[in-house]
Every structure is written in C-alpha cells, then in structure tokens.
Amino acid sequence: MTGLRADFRLARGDFRLDVAISTPGQGVTALFGRSGCGKTTLLRCLAGLERAAGGCRLGEEVWQDDGRRLFVPTHRRPIGYVLQEPSLFPHLSVRGNLEYGWRRVPARRQQVVFDEVVELLGLGRHLDRSPAGLSGGERQRVSVARALLTSPRLLLMDEPLSALDHASKQEILPYFERLHDGLRLPIVYVSHSPDEVARLADQMILLQGGRVLGAGPVAELLVRLDLPLARDTEAGAVIDGRVAEHDDVYGLTRIAIAGGRLALPRLDRPIGAPARVRIHARDVSLALDEPGTSSILNILPVRILEIVELDRTQVLIRLAAGRDDETQVLARITRRSRDLLRLAPGREVYAQVKAVALVD
C-alpha cells in the first residue's frame, strides 16, 4: 500500500469535520468545495498542524493512530507544504531559499536532485535574484521548489494560486502540470476553482459542510448528476485523449477519444501526445438522426444514461460514447426539447458539440 489514508473527526464551534479519505500513491488529488467546507482544515490535519480525532497513514508509515496513542508531529512527517502566500526568506537569494530546504535533509535521505528541481520549475535564471524582485508566480514556484527539496513523500498545496492574478496563474500553471507529469509522489491540492481541478487533478474529493460528498476520478465526479458539480452553470466534462492528426489546411487538430474524434484549433503538439479537453454542458445539443451538412464539426454518437430535471425549464442529461461508456459528457437542454424528442435513458442519439476547449 503506497497511498494516503486518513479519517478525522473535529468539532470547532458550529463546524464539524467528519471525513474518511484515501488517495493513490502518486498523482494529484484535489480537495474541492466552497469556502468553509473544511478543505484547509483537512489539509492541516494531514500535516499534523491540526489535532483531530482519528488516524492517518502514508503507505505503511503511520502518522496518527488514536487507538495506539500515536501522533507523529509535523516536523517528523516527510511532507512538503505550500501555502497560498509564498513564505520566502527576504534576506536570502532564490538559491539561498532553495538550499535552506535542501540542507535540512541529510544526504542519505535526499531523494531529489537540486538541479532537476530547479529545471522542473524553470528557476535556473532566477537563482541569484532576491525574492523581492520576483513576480507572484515566480515566488510561488520558488516556494514549491523549496518544498520539493526537502524530499517529501507527500506534497500538500493549499490553494497555491488563489493569491495570484490571472496573468500570474497562466504563467505558473504549466509548471504545475510538469509537477504532475514528473513527480512520483502523491499531491493533495486544495482548490475551489473548477478550471484548476479540470486541468491538474487526477482524483477529486468533494467536500461540503465538513463531509465527503463524493470521491473518485475527476472525469467521473464531474458528470455525476447526484452531485452539485453537474448542476453548476459552468458544469461540464473532462475527457482525456491523444493527438490523432493535424489538418494544416484548415488549422485543426483532431483528438482521438473513446467513441470518436474531436476537432480543435491547431495544437502545437506531436501526434500521439496526450490532450485533455473540456466540454461544457451548455455547449451540447442533441439530435435523433445523424446531422448532415453542418457548421458544427464535432458530432458524437452517444447513448442516454440518465436525465434529471434542473427546474421548470431545463433538464440535465448524462451521455456516454465508446464501447464501454468510457467517454461521458453532459447536455443541458430545455424540458420542451426533451419531450419533443421523446428522450429517455437507453436511447441512442447524436451529441452536437458546439465548443471544445483544450485544458492547458
């Protein structure tokens, strides 16, 4: 067992945390939910900064077991912790800040290479600079690098982009994607941004009122009609595929997914490269027969899995494509359209996708 497992119970005033979670041994697990749902409290419990009843273990290493009266303090847990605001030492250069984390770990326990972390986060040309002269995104990259240089077995990130403006977020997100692809350790990432989760996370734990509403792969949770995510105005599906071909005549790239292909504006990625796309429920319409000539490029044969009514005017429909329903999308249409088309679970229809966005 290499993953993280924990259960915590905590009461503070009117707030109650009562959760049991598990994550894989690598990849990004997002703790997602509205403000006040318990995301940061849970993260602090994992770090040992908050004392709650329960237990916590990473792989075979037990950090808390109330039954055995065992509690490992924060400084003895092999974790890296990245806060919303980078807490860099202003009197040290970037190199000095990184070496502070690096030198805290005895040489025999160092599991990462200094130069590789610097390269991963694109900090080579900043090493001699003062933190005061860095942008917000650059400071946060230094903060992440310093955490990694402590050779953690678990990386905890508490809304690391929330204090950044849009431009700084766009600057740093590609580096966070490199963390996802280049690190073989579990990352628990707190966020309230659906876009961040769609872009970075493999797994999601959805919290509400201090409890777990749902947990599992991001692609599955986003299309579950029993969860509030699907009812949001920005609801949509994420789909993982690979670059299948480029059409340089029309400036298009086609992404192969289970059940078909999706056309996007030309991507600067090689054939076979992974690509994650997002399709909003509001951008999907349905037809009983395969559409003929149309300006809509992306049309998928799908099967209706489930229909729920959102209000007096709209319904939400979960659709599946592919041999084993691997690709699932949502469609938000009017009740009148549902009744006119006589849509029901099990019926095969065509999904007309008006917009597909690359999650990058």
DSSP string, 172-202: HHHHHHHHHHH--SEEEEEE--HHHHHHH-S
C-alpha–C-alpha distance, residues 348 and 338, integer Å: 13
Residue pair 354/283 in contact (Cβ under 8 Å)? The answer is: yes
CATH 3.40.50.300: which residues of the chain? Answer: 4-221
Tokens of 283: 């951008």
Terminal CA-CA length for the chain: 32
pTM listed for this prediction: 0.90
Is 116 exposed, middle or buried (CB count within 10 Å of its CB: 0-12, 13-18, 19+)? exposed
236-358 adopts what CATH topology?
OB fold (Dihydrolipoamide Acetyltransferase, E2P) (2.40.50)
Residue 112: CB atoms within 10 Å: 18
Q: Is the pLDDT of residue 101 over 90?
A: no
Q: Phi/psi of residue 15, each to 5°?
A: -90, 140
pLDDT for the residue numbered 1: 55
Residue pair 33/228 in contact (Cβ under 8 Å)? The answer is: no
C-alpha–C-alpha distance, residues 227 and 225, integer Å: 5
* 173-177 mean pLDDT: 84
Q: Is the pLDDT of residue 118 over 60?
A: yes
SS3 of 97-158: the string is HHHHHHHCCCHHHCCCCHHHHHHHCCCHHHCCCCHHHCCHHHHHHHHHHHHHCCCCCEEEEE
pLDDT for the residue numbered 164: 85
Q: Is the pLDDT of residue 180 over 80?
A: no
Q: Is the pLDDT of residue 107 over 80?
A: no
* DSSP helix/strand/coil, 204: strand
C-alpha–C-alpha distance, residues 313 and 338, integer Å: 10
Supply the DSSP symbol for 251: T
Residue with tokens 């690096």: 102
Better pLDDT: 167 or 268: 268
pLDDT category of residue 360 using cuts at 50, 70 and 90:
low
Q: Is the pLDDT of residue 39 over 80?
A: yes
C-alpha–C-alpha distance, residues 190 and 325, integer Å: 30
Q: Work out the mean pLDDT of the chain and round it to a whole number.
A: 92
pLDDT tens sequence across 232-257 = 888 999 999 999 999 999 999 999 99
Q: Is the pLDDT of residue 136 over 80?
A: yes
* 296-316 mean pLDDT: 95
pLDDT category of residue 301 using cuts at 50, 70 and 90:
very high
State CA 285 to chain mean position distance: 27
Nearest alpha-carbon partner for 297 in 328, 252, 336: 252
Give the architecture-level CATH label for domain 4-221: 3-Layer(aba) Sandwich (3.40)
Q: Is the pLDDT of residue 297 over 60?
A: yes
* 326-338 mean pLDDT: 96
Alpha helices (H) in the chain, listed in sequence order: 39-47, 94-103, 114-120, 136-148, 166-182, 194-200, 218-221, 335-341
CATH 2.40.50.100: which residues of the chain? Answer: 236-358
Residue pair 15/60 in contact (Cβ under 8 Å)? The answer is: no
Better pLDDT: 169 or 79: 79
Q: Is the pLDDT of residue 359 over 80?
A: yes
C-alpha–C-alpha distance, residues 44 and 264, integer Å: 41
pLDDT category of residue 52 using cuts at 50, 70 and 90:
very high
Supply the DSSP symbol for 267: P
Residue pair 192/208 in contact (Cβ under 8 Å)? The answer is: no
* 177-190 mean pLDDT: 85
Q: Phi/psi of residue 181, each to 5°?
A: -80, -30
